Amino acid sequence: MGAGVAMNLVLAVFLLSVGFMIPRERSLSMAQIVEVAQGSPASEATITGEMRDGTAPAQGIQPGDLVIEVAGREIKNTSEMVYASRLNLGETQEWIIVRAGATLTAEVYARWHPPADEGPTGVRIGAPQTCTYNENSEPISCELKYPQTENEWFWPWEAFPKGASSLVDTMVLTVNEIRVRVGGGGGASVGGEDQPAFTGPVGIADTTGDLIKEAGWRPLIEFAALLSLNLAIFNALPIPMLDGGRMFFVFLEIVRGGRRISPEKEGLVHFAGFALMMVGVLIVTYFDIARLVT
């Protein structure tokens, strides 16, 4: 009964591992603090270390600080910083920052439910830029200070452990997003406010086409791995008709001391679950088509 769930997990790890074997460009634009919200955890962060002149650093994260590590993960661009930070929500994260040439350590708490327009730690980040200004000190043009990229890929014996680790990270992120949304906070999705919470085959096909058009085939492998993981989680839920529902009936049999529920009643429950699921698929498909038409 659990074989389908297990194979979906194995497939997700395999696909993620294949993704790590395919060369990709990694941005090295770095992540710099642009703004710190007043009263946020970042503004009250404990900073340890010393400046290059031997003085104690000012407490709290400061605009201009360059973040090079979050919770033990190397940070080379803004996307990596967002990813690492949201993996450790509800925890005090250790950041390694560079300020005026000095390497310092910061202890920053990441909130589950920050105020509107603030992230978990209360900072706004961006890639360091070099700008030219007019006589009114208004920027005329800006360009990345570190525009370099690196071609990154891994051998199979390195890719498979990374694939397994990435699957665990994805599951942690999923749980974190659910906790944030249940509590009324904003998620980390970038799809916009009109992005549907659920989608069916039509929506998946549309997303797949957009993904290939905008980013090529490599992200499609990661997208397929995410779908496989979602199938594994969904199929494990104790819902009639699913494998999790069938395992739930086995659990009930154990609780009842080996007395099995009659196959006719169990079959009726699974049939009802199947009917409800088909109705749900039709509803989701209708909204997918309506969204594409409009």
Which pLDDT does position 194 carry in this prediction?
A: 43
Cβ(22)–Cβ(153) under 8 Å? yes
pLDDT in tens, 146-182: 999 999 999 999 999 999 999 999 888 888 887 787 6
* Same domain (yes/no): 162, 289: yes
* Same domain (yes/no): 178, 254: yes
Q: Is residue 18 part of a domain?
A: no
Q: Is residue 250 part of a domain?
A: yes
CA-based angle 162:7:191, to the nearest 5? 60
Q: Is residue 132 part of a domain?
A: yes
How many alpha carbons fall within 13 Å on the CB side of residue 266?
A: 13
* Same domain (yes/no): 104, 46: yes
* Same domain (yes/no): 36, 126: yes
Whose structure tokens read 């969904």? 234
* Same domain (yes/no): 172, 147: no
Angstrom distance (rounded) from CA 80 to CA 70: 9
Whose structure tokens read 């009842």? 256
Which pLDDT does position 192 carry in this prediction?
A: 38
The pTM score is: 0.77
* Same domain (yes/no): 146, 162: no
Q: Is residue 4 part of a domain?
A: no
Which pLDDT does position 218 carry in this prediction?
A: 65
Q: Is residue 275 part of a domain?
A: yes
CA distance from start to end of the chain: 41
pLDDT in tens, 114-129: 888 888 999 999 999 9
* Same domain (yes/no): 46, 137: yes
Q: How many domains does the chain contain in total?
A: 2
* Same domain (yes/no): 34, 90: yes
* Same domain (yes/no): 124, 231: no
Of 94, 125, 152, which one is at a domain's C-terminal end?
Answer: 152
Token reading at 57: 């650093």
Q: Is residue 145 part of a domain?
A: yes
Token reading at 182: 């249940």
Whose structure tokens read 């460009």? 25
**64 contacts: CB under 8 Å, gap ≥ 6:** 32, 33, 99
Which pLDDT does position 216 carry in this prediction?
A: 55
Angstrom distance (rounded) from CA 291 to CA 194: 10
Q: Is residue 249 part of a domain?
A: yes
Determine the structural domain holding residue 60 and report its residue range: 24-152
* Same domain (yes/no): 43, 124: yes
* Same domain (yes/no): 98, 128: yes
DSSP state of 54: S
**In sequence order, what are the beta bridge partners of 98?**
66, 103
Angstrom distance (rounded) from CA 198 to CA 61: 38
* Same domain (yes/no): 172, 289: yes
Report the CATH number that the domain containing residue 123 is assigned in CATH.
Answer: 2.30.42.10
Residues of the chain below pLDDT 50: 187-195
Which pLDDT does position 195 carry in this prediction?
A: 46
